[in-house]
Amino acid sequence: MTINPEKLRIELYPTEVLRMKAEPIELNDEVRAVALRMIDLMKGAQGIGLAAPQIGLSWRMFVAHVPADPNLDSEDDQEETDPDLPISCDSPQIFINPEIIEFAGELEPYEEGCLSLPGITGEVQRPAIVTVKAITLDGQEVTMRASGLLARCWQHEIDHLDGVLILDKMNQMSRFKNRSRIKQMEKAAKR
């Protein structure tokens, strides 16, 4: 089956592919084209990450772009973590067949959203530091370590590759706060 990247769009909860464990993929021209389309879709939706299941493909691939926040002093943002680790990235990143090889640091709460769950945000606890191994778009195997929002983004996107959503990880108060919106989305999908 040939995929037309231009026809891909962001899938919304409760689309079935969002709950499936994604399969490893081989790097080829089609994967490269889809990855570039994913970057466009992510930027167009003003997101910082997008996983292949979110565009209807059960592939182990995600893209991320967490630019530095000009309103934050990077030293202040990294008081609790390692100041030598990146908390942002200057350009979009593409991760093929990523896996988390190490978590470190304390669990930190943060209000997360998701492009497949518009209008829904909730507090999710995640480790402050993460190390990820993946293949890049040029076929190189890399191991990268990050903290702050970049580490959180990578963890969120890898959750998508395992069929896990922020709904599964948010605290009880956040679940309660979003209950009616979740029901609306489920009802709309049945129409």
Tell me the per-residue pLDDT of 85-138, one tens digit each, with 9 for 90 and over.
999 999 999 999 999 999 999 999 999 999 999 999 999 999 999 999 999 999
Q: Which domain holds residue 130?
A: 5-190
**pLDDT by 10s per residue, the chain, length 191:** 689 999 999 999 999 999 999 999 999 999 999 999 999 999 999 999 999 999 999 999 999 999 998 776 544 444 455 788 999 999 999 999 999 999 999 999 999 999 999 999 999 999 999 999 999 999 999 999 999 999 999 999 999 999 999 999 999 999 999 999 999 999 999 98
Q: Which residues are catalytic, by number?
A: 157
Q: Exposed, middle or buried, 150 (CB in 10 Å: 0-12/13-18/19+)?
A: buried
For residue 48, is it left (φ>0), alpha (ψ between -120 and 50) or beta? alpha
Q: What are phi and psi of 63, to 5 degrees?
A: -120, 155
Q: pTM of this prediction?
A: 0.93
**Which residues does residue 130 pair with via DSSP β-bridges, in sequence order?**
103, 146
What does the CA dihedral 12, 151, 142, 115 come to, rounded to 10 degrees? Answer: 10
Please report the pLDDT score of residue 81 as a whole number. Answer: 54
CATH number, domain containing residue 167? 3.90.45.10
Q: Into how many domains does the chain fold?
A: 1
Q: Exposed, middle or buried, 35 (CB in 10 Å: 0-12/13-18/19+)?
A: buried
